[in-house]
Amino acid sequence: AEAMHHEACIPQSWWEFATQQATHVYNRSPMDRLNWRTPFELLNGKQPDISHFRVFGCGAYVWLHPD
């Protein structure tokens, strides 16, 4: 979480979000000691969907439909 926070160059007030994101990624990362399964798999019996993963703190823009 500390490395993510530092690399994103975000204010200290975002520390909680960095910690939440680091935990989310950790729980969906395969581990040798779990026979290359994830903690998520052990709890839910299926592989996690990580298609929504993005770089923490990356710049983004919101597109508002002109309705």
What is the residue range of 67's domain?
Answer: 1-67
Across residues 32-51, what is the average pLDDT?
96
Helix (H, G, I), strand (E, B) or coil at 31: strand
Q: Cα separation of 8 and 16, whole Å? A: 14
Q: Cα separation of 27 and 38, whole Å? A: 6
* Model confidence, pTM: 0.75
Number of domains in the chain: 1
Give the torsion through C-alpha atoms of 29, 30, 31, 32, to 10 deg.
Answer: -160
Among 54, 67, 57, 49, CA closest to 8: 57
Give the torsion through C-alpha atoms of 24, 33, 41, 19, to 10 deg.
Answer: -10
Per cent of the chain over pLDDT 70 is 100
